[in-house]
Amino acid sequence: MSVRITRLLSIALIGAGLSTVAFAAAQSSLVWRGDAVTANGVVKGMAQAWQSTGHGRVEVQQFNTASGLDAVSSGAADIAGSARDSSGSAQDSGLTFTPVAWDALVLITSPSNPVSSLTLKQVHDVYYGKISNWRDLGGNDAPMDVYAVASPGDGVEFSLRKLLFGRGSQPVAAPRLYVNTVQLEQAVALDPRAFGVTTLSSVAGNSRIKMLRIEGVAPSMSSVSSGSYPLFTPLYLVTRAGSPNAASAQEFVDFAQSAKGQSVLRSHSLLPYQQGAALASLDASRRGRILAEVGARASAEPTQIAAAASPAARALPASAAALASRTAAARATTPGLSAVTGAVVAAPEPSSLKGVRGDAFTVASAASHGSDFVKVTADAYVSYGKVVAAKATKAAKTATSTSKKVDARKIASARTYRVGAGETLYSIARKHDVDVAQIRTWNHLKDNTVRTGQILRIDAR
């Protein structure tokens, strides 16, 4: 073989190698962000199947619905996951919501709770604050701990409230809020008095969670497919036409609707959307029937719910500014809720979602329940990074030492309380009719962590 031919072959091989690199580079990875329900039920398995067929990688950023929609709107993500359709707000404008699966909204409690079935009216009255004790539902004489997700635009919460109240932005009487459904489910599993909502695909087969029947019908793939379970709902993949990876994002959505994609959906207790044509045709009549049964009517969503005032708010919509403005907008358009007050405290915005955690608490006296939520006050916060241990114990010990007699006198001048076994900051606040935020301020606590035997100030004096 001549030197000339050898050189030509080398050039050809190098060119082929560069073409392969260029082809691999063209298969750019996609970024998906959204709620935990869509992440676990749709995207994680779909991403593996997508990659196994020769497509690029999908980076899954699981957080909540609002963060996903904001990320796609701002270009920080290519695809979002949502358990609700567009709210018709400014935030959702420009986004394409493609339904890919049918899921079920399920009301959950602890397996130790004797209550197993509820009517739609009972569920409505629990969230509206008219029912606050399990005995009114045929259970034990114990207050209900109604849990919800803090973000007003969360897909699961929004969809349930739209079915029960006629609009997804309806405020509800929820004593404790969480940043997403994963944290909510973990809390419900540990609390025999808990009550909350998630989806069938998220808790199917979880023995630590009891799914309540609705109107006597248990949630299952079969009852969802037939439409006999009334709280069925679509799951969506959300894209934006103007995004840099719009074509690849659309290919992923198309793949989710293909035969291989539908197989992935069924393996996660989801009904492929195309196979639920009967559910789509039943939707309007189903919504009307539910509203009639609970005594509510449909109303327009307040446009203010989606306003993003700053880049920081767009990056993390569950931040203080967004959550406060959306809650205020919802209150302003709801008759009888003008007395509801809330405070949101958020830590500085993180560079990533790693380590994000969030909680919120509502403190309410017996008089706070009712049709207009009078006197309900709420404190919500989102913190980032590792949980910081409470400093109250150290402060109390220091106060009793001889070298810190001044601090001891200050603590002695205020009412104090020793934390008992199994108590939480929320239960202590409720016992003494104060806000969680107040106890944290008086004791210089960085979070809601308390320890057995810890001495807490429970008033400002």
CATH of residue 450: 3.10.350.10
Q: Domain ends where: 365, 384, 403? A: 384
Q: Domain ends where: 350, 384, 418? A: 384
Joined tokens for residue 339: 């007395």
pLDDT, residue 420, reads 85
Q: Domain ends where: 384, 400, 422? A: 384
- pTM value is 0.64
Q: Are residues 359 and 408 in the same domain?
A: no
363 beta partners: 377
Q: Are residues 112 and 212 in the same domain?
A: yes
Least trusted range by pLDDT, from 4-8, 215-219, 382-386, 420-424: 382-386
Average pLDDT over residues 161-166: 94
d(CA 440, CA 456): 9
The domain that holds 350 is classified in CATH as 3.40.190.10
Using DSSP, state whether 224 is helix, strand or coil. Answer: helix
Higher pLDDT, 459 or 402: 459
**pLDDT, tens digit, 9 for 90 and up, residues 277-295:** 899 999 999 999 999 999 9
Q: Is the pLDDT of residue 350 over 60?
A: no
Residue 161 resides in a domain: yes
Q: Which residue has the tokens 């580079």?
A: 25
Q: Are residues 425 and 334 in the same domain?
A: no
pLDDT, residue 302, reads 72
Q: Which residue has the tokens 């993003």?
A: 308
Q: Are residues 375 and 398 in the same domain?
A: no
pLDDT, residue 28, reads 60
d(CA 16, CA 216): 64
**pLDDT, tens digit, 9 for 90 and up, residues 68-86:** 999 999 999 999 999 999 8
Q: Are residues 359 and 428 in the same domain?
A: no
Q: Are residues 148 and 209 in the same domain?
A: yes
Residue 32 resides in a domain: no
Q: Is the pLDDT of residue 26 over 70?
A: no
From first CA to last CA, the distance across the chain in angstroms is 97
Residue 137 resides in a domain: yes
Query: Total domain count for the chain?
Result: 2
Residue 316 resides in a domain: no
pLDDT, residue 127, reads 94
Highest mean pLDDT: which range of 27-36, 89-98, 199-208, 300-309 = 199-208
Joined tokens for residue 188: 């419900």
Q: Are residues 134 and 211 in the same domain?
A: yes
Residue 431 resides in a domain: yes
By DSSP bridging, strand 210-211 and strand 95-109 are antiparallel
Residue 12 resides in a domain: no
Q: Is the pLDDT of residue 399 over 80?
A: no
Q: Are residues 369 and 450 in the same domain?
A: no
Higher pLDDT, 199 or 398: 199
**pLDDT, tens digit, 9 for 90 and up, residues 121-139:** 999 999 999 999 999 999 9
Residue 28 resides in a domain: no
Residue 48 resides in a domain: no
Joined tokens for residue 77: 């993500």
pLDDT, residue 372, reads 43
pLDDT, residue 461, reads 62
In the chain, what percentage of residues exceed pLDDT 70? 68
Average pLDDT over residues 284-313: 70
Cβ atoms within 10 Å of 266's Cβ, excluding its own: 13
Q: Are residues 118 and 203 in the same domain?
A: yes
Domain that residue 354 falls in = 104-218+330-384
Q: Are residues 449 and 380 in the same domain?
A: no
